[in-house]
Amino acid sequence: MTAYPARGPGDKPPDTPPAVLAYPTDPAQVPAEFASLPNFVGWTWELRQDRRGMWTWTKPPVSPTTGARGNCSDPSTWGTFAQAVATARRARLPGIGVELTEALGVVGGDLDKCRDPVTGAIQPWALAIVRRLDTLTYVSPTGTGLRFFLKGRLPGARCRTGNIEVYSSGRYLTLTTERVPGTPDRIEARQAELEAWYAEVFPPQEPATAPGRPAGPVLLADEALVERATAAENGEKFARLWRGDTADHGDDDSAADLALCNLLRFWTGGDAPRMDRLFRRSGLYRDKWDERRGPQTYGERTIARALSGAVYTARRRRRLPPERPRQRRAVGRPLRRTAPLLPPAGPVARVGRPPVGRR
């Protein structure tokens, strides 16, 4: 994605999105594993402004069958390769992509901001990954990144760190006709290589809270619980996450989601339904929370990860007398966001969080 700083209200970047490489128009130009599947979507440019005031061109999916916004968790919004190409041509979309599912057994990866679009030079860190995995790898539509596909299963739940993303479901990946020179022309089985590389890129995380304390009920209403958490010693951290601020986690939404769930685990005594209910009230909540990730949704999987370590919980030692004043802080409940339908063609400008399924 390409970001531009916005220095004030109404200060927008040029309306022209980045130039893109050609997308496949012949089934022979896509991997054999994909060609006959109804897993294709189109995509369009959408200009959005994030919390930091940065303007970013994002790539929401477009349904090949309706021309409306696609959804990575709803197969009814996908279509065949021929339908995706026809819709892209008719609506003058910049490209097409393929939706990944667990049943497909293919892992797709993004290596962002690693290639010079003019010279084609690939940065050493990305080139080392390409050589190590040794599988089908394409240049991204803007020419600044790479996309690889391999046969295998993700060995863990983490999927993003820095300029590296890797998925096996719940995402679509864009396709171009430019294969990285020297890479295989087919999707290779690389489970062992994937597991070794994944362990290095996503090392095991230590539990975020102290071990050895049993889970138990926390006798506080939701509003009081949030108020207590915000006033705690690490309350500023909780407050930032609660209002949707991901700066402490390098603007990695997934890492911030897990961090908030770790804190909610403490304050709810490991009560998963209550953690889910509270997360939905936070500024981090978005449509992705309910997207399927195999047998679980993204939200269920994130909560399960937070609960996988030893649960160290807060217990209410005594009931505060009614007359005792409490320090109150404003706790806002964010509005749920819905995804409007896309127009038939052309880039769109929006302000807010990036849409579901961007890539």
At 13, which CATH number? Answer: 3.90.920
For residues 210 and 187, give the distance between their C-alpha atoms in angstroms, rounded to a whole number. Answer: 43
User: Tokens representing 82?
Assistant: 């021929």
Confidence of residue 291 (pLDDT cuts 50, 70, 90): confident
**pLDDT classification of 348: cutoffs 50, 70, 90:** low
The pLDDT assigned to 116 comes to 97
- Flag whether pLDDT at 219 surpasses 90: no
Token pair in block for residue 14: 């040029």
Q: What does the block give as tokens for 99?
A: 């939706």
Q: Are 342 and 324 contained in the same domain? A: no
pLDDT at 208: 45
Both 62 and 194 in a single domain? yes
Lowest average pLDDT, out of 12-26, 96-110, 265-279, 310-324, goes to 310-324
- 3: enclosing H helix or E strand: strand 3-5
Taking residues 293-319, report their average pLDDT: 68
- Predicted local distance difference test score (pLDDT) of residue 166: 94
Instruction: Assess if residue 358 is contained within a domain.
Output: no
d(CA 58, CA 113): 15
Strands 188-189 and 146-151, by their bridges, are parallel
Number of domains in the chain: 2
Q: Which two tokens stand for residue 132?
A: 């190590």
Q: How confident is the prediction for the chain on average, in pLDDT? A: 81
Report angle CA 141, 45, 9 to the nearest 5 degrees. Answer: 125
Average pLDDT rounded to a whole number, residues 257-285: 90
Residue 205's pLDDT band (boundaries 50, 70, 90)? Answer: low
Q: Whole-angstrom Cα distance, residue 274 to residue 352?
A: 27
Q: Are residues 192 and 229 in the same domain?
A: no
The share of the chain scoring above pLDDT 90, in percent, equals: 49
For 141-184, write each residue's pLDDT tens digit.
999 999 999 999 998 878 888 899 999 988 899 999 999 999 99
The predicted pLDDT at position 173 comes to: 95
pLDDT of residue 204: 76
Model confidence at 13, pLDDT cuts 50, 70, 90, reads low
Residue 223 and residue 179 in one domain: no
- Greater model confidence, 10 or 327: 10
Does pTM surpass 0.75? no
Q: Residue 127 pLDDT > 50, yes or no? A: yes
Same-domain pairing of 225 and 76: no
258 band by pLDDT with thresholds 50, 70 and 90: very high
Give the pLDDT mean for 60-73.
93
Q: Is the pLDDT of residue 236 over 70?
A: yes
CB atoms within 10 A of CB 116: 11
Q: What is the structure's pLDDT at 157? A: 78
Examine residue 333 and state whether it is found in any structural domain, yes or no.
no
Evaluated on CA atoms 6, 165, 265, 289, the torsion sign reads: positive
Same domain membership, residue 188 and residue 87 = yes
In a domain, 33, yes or no: yes
Distance CA 152, CA 105 (A): 6
Q: 17 lies in a domain?
A: yes
Q: Which of 39-43, 313-317, 344-348 has the lowest mean pLDDT?
A: 313-317
Most confident of 63-72, 323-332, 342-351: 63-72
Same domain, 94 and 161: yes
Q: Does the pLDDT value for residue 351 go beyond 80? A: no
User: At 318, is the pLDDT very low, low, confident or very high (cuts 50, 70, 90)?
Assistant: very low
Claim to verify: residue 24 and residue 167 sit in the same structural domain: yes
Residue 115 belongs to what domain range? 3-203+338-351
Residues 240 and 147 in one domain: no
Between these two residues, 214 and 117, which has the higher pLDDT value?
A: 117
CA distance 74 to 162: 28
282 and 177 within one domain:
no
